[in-house]
Amino acid sequence: MSAASDDQARPRRADYAHFVPVQTRWSDNDQMGHINNVEYYRFFEFVVIHFTHNVLKCTMLDGLSPYSAETLCRFRKPLSFPGTIDAALRVEHVGRTSVRYGLALFAEGDDEAAAHGHWVHVFVGRDNEKPRELPAPMRQAMLDTMAKTRKA
């Protein structure tokens, strides 16, 4: 990968629609003095769950459960304690029973992602754990979020 294409692959804040601040903890750091790679997935999970509950309104009462089918994280530069990280989410694809979120982590005040990746949720019925079609309001919320970050 050339330097030019590598720079193009690094997401910016403007590429995302939904942000949640995450306060780092001392225990997030590893012996090298930066946040351990496992914590990046915890931060990704935090913004996905926030979006699922607060925007999609998916709750324990609606009979649906989002299952994680795939995750990926690309590390670009280290994050460390103390600090606040902005966890960011965009909707990249909406299927019949699934959604793919694009995710990124930004150091406070930094426009370039320190890490980015994706997360695929398949929505299944709580009663039988089989994929279930997305309810219309949830699907529309996903499409609305996608429209906020779609490039012209």
What is the residue range of 103's domain? 13-149
Question: Is 72 part of any domain?
Answer: yes
Q: What is the CATH number of the domain that holds 65?
A: 3.10.129.10
Per-residue pLDDT of the chain in tens (152 residues, 90 and over written 9):
444 445 557 899 999 999 999 998 888 878 888 888 888 999 999 999 999 989 888 766 678 889 999 999 999 999 988 889 999 999 999 999 999 999 999 999 999 999 999 999 999 999 999 999 999 999 999 999 999 886 53
**Domain membership flag for residue 8:** no
* Cα angle: 128, vertex 133, 137; to 5 degrees: 125
Do 140 and 133 form a contact (C-beta atoms < 8 A)?
Answer: no
For the entire predicted model, the pTM comes to 0.87
pLDDT of residue 71: 96
Is 82 part of any domain?
yes
Q: What local confidence, expressed as pLDDT, does residue 58 receive?
A: 75
Q: How many CB atoms lie within 10 A of CB 25?
A: 11
* Spatial distance between the Cα atoms of 38 and 40, rounded to a whole number of angstroms: 5
**Tally of domains within the chain:** 1
Cβ neighbours of 13 (radius 10 Å)? 14
Q: How far apart (Å, rounded) are the C-alpha atoms in residues 144 and 146? A: 5
Does 5 fall in a domain? no
Helix (H, G, I), strand (E, B) or coil at 3: helix
Domain annotation covers residue 85: yes
